[in-house]
A and B are shown apart, each in its own frame.
Chain A
Amino acid sequence: MVTKEQIIKWLKLAANVMQENKEWLTQLDAAVGDGEHGINMARGFQKVSSHLPSVADEDIGSILKSTGAILLSAIGGAGGVIFGTFFIEAGKVTSGRQELGSVDIAAFLKAGLSGVIKRGGAQVGDKTMVDALAPAVTAFDRSLEDGADTTEALGQAVAAAQVGMTETTHLVAKKGRASYLGERSIGHQDPGATSLYLILKALYDAV
């Protein structure tokens, strides 16, 4: 079971992790994009973190939705829409909840993924955050089927996200600014996939 307190802890942790990895993410982005991803993600999650006290009395769905809305406007760019959509869609399926069972986590990961695909149009293999998120969703479901508890399943999801993130290095970008590079995008890890991995890792560390 994941409690509301753990969700709040996750979001605070994510803000710290984004701050710590700001320069790394920005360097990854400079190689294939325009070098602002880390700065924008850190700014967005900082704002989420400072906003948490005012939503602490609300349910998990509301907290996740307001997180998404803040990310949307505070990150800006494609990243704001994509990461904002992930949290808004996750918030919609956890509406009214004070704690989440493993099935709820599975539902929110799935809702987040389908929202992101619908908005951004990226498929697996396009060198985007979907390449980390999609295998994480699959790994989480599979672990539950194998009898794992929430924490174990999250561990498997994070491991799958990490593999997906690392493998983006070998892909040709087909979406976003990196796609302008074509073959020249090979050899660079996708910054969005990296951020998604860090966010999931923070969730695992929080529970």
Chain B
Amino acid sequence: MKKLLNKPEDFVRESLEGVALAHSDTVKAHFEPNFLYRADAPVSSKVAIISGGGSGHEPMHIGFVGKGMLDAACPGEVFTSPTPDQILEAAKLVHRGKGVLSIVKNYSGDVMNFQMAGELLSSEEFRFINVLIDDDVGVKGGLSTQGRRGVGTTVFAEKICGAAAEDGYSLDDLVTLCRRVNLSGRSMGVALSSCTVPASGVPTFELGDSEMEVGIGIHGEQGRERMPMMNADSITELLSLSITEDPAYKRSLPEWDEGTCTWIDRKVTSQPFKPGDRVLAFVNGMGGTPLAELYVVYRKLFEICREKGLEIVRSLVGNYITSLEMQGCFITLLKTDDELTRLWDLPVKTPSLRWGI
């Protein structure tokens, strides 16, 4: 596999250097430990919002740092969660006493590293609260697994909470808002090809020309099942119906408890979509699929939503959560209301999401 690469071990650092140089008006990079932060941080009037995850998913999260979204993002190695020292230093640098909301995707590595960071920060003068995103209906088996993964809803959560923080929301209100966004979103993805981790140099899995992997994760981990390749409309139908037909999803979701600095299990439910719901619709490319194909998917998604009585009030189409050069897409629907739509519309100025400014 050919890649624009110098040494695999320098990949994450060099990419981070490039982002900071290309968007020097918006972001700055910090090395050892690695993180990207708002050029104007710390912003004194607001709660700070941070996130992080493995590299290889760009623009998530480093492309979402800036006014109206994240104050800092911690990139780990490729497909590997960031480590507590990164999270710790990033939180300390960007906060200004109003606390830190940390948005965490539900993967075992991310959860454990953010948990350790939370414990280490509990002796600090400021509050730090982790909120989990677990919206991937592709994960079957509920309690016998790690639970649903965090995918497309993460982008909605980071944009909506970022806007709310600029708007003056308190940390407690942001935590409530972020949890509400998580319970309102569902995602489902398909891979048409594998991806190649730079340091490994070989495709993570093999997928034949006539096959596709349905319910794929964003790290090349295999999905729910392997199926024969279909046309765009049939794939879109398969993904969207998995979302719109998903029944109430009840689980015990770990919620961060500041008193004990541990995750405590709380029973929560994502309600199913129903006719009359207004939604934000997101068609996300995995890195190797042309935008034109994503619009073919969106066109069919629009038709299906109309048939189901779901009104798409805003949309996002493009490569926002990638798996390196994987071909394929994720569909995310988020039930919205006046508050969420207003926050979605507020100005944002980051390397990869920018409007209203």
Contacts and interface: CB of A to CB of B under 8 A. Distances in A.
A173 to B, nearest CB: 8
Interface residues of A, number: 33
A8 interface: no
Contact of B221 (A73, A75, A177): A177
Contact of B109 (A39, A79, A184): A79
A199 B217 CA distance: 30
Contacts of A17: none
Interface string A11-30: 00000000000000010001
B79 to A, nearest CB: 5
Interface string B138-165: 1111001110010000000000000000
Contacts of B138: 180
A179 B145 contact: yes
A73 to B, nearest CB: 4
Interface in A26-82: 26, 30, 32-36, 39-40, 43, 72-73, 75-82
B146 A179 contact: yes
Chain B interface size range: 35 or more
Nearest to A76: B80
Contact of A73 (B33, B107, B109, B141): B33
Contact of A120 (B78, B79, B112, B222): B112
Nearest to A81: B112
Contact of A36 (B79, B82, B83, B113): B79
A32 B80 CA distance: 15
Given A34-B219, A81-B116, A39 B141 contact: no
Contact of A34 (B83, B141, B221, B223): B221
Interface stretch (B197-205, B237-245, B293-301): B197-205
Nearest to B223: A180
Interface of B: 9, 33, 54, 76-85, 107-109, 112-113, 116, 138-141, 144-146, 149, 197, 199-200, 204-205, 217, 219-223
26 contacts: A26-B200, A30-B200, A33-B219, A34-B79, A35-B220, A36-B78, A72-B83, A75-B80, A76-B80, A76-B109, A76-B113, A77-B81, A78-B81, A78-B109, A79-B109, A81-B116, A174-B145, A176-B146, A177-B219, A179-B141, A179-B144, A179-B145, A180-B149, A181-B221, A182-B144, A184-B222
Given A34-B204, A34-B217, 13 more contacts: A30-B205, A34-B221, A35-B204, A72-B116, A76-B83, A77-B54, A77-B77, A78-B107, A119-B112, A172-B144, A174-B145, A180-B145, A182-B141
Interface of A: 26, 30, 32-36, 39-40, 43, 72-73, 75-82, 119-120, 172, 174-182, 184
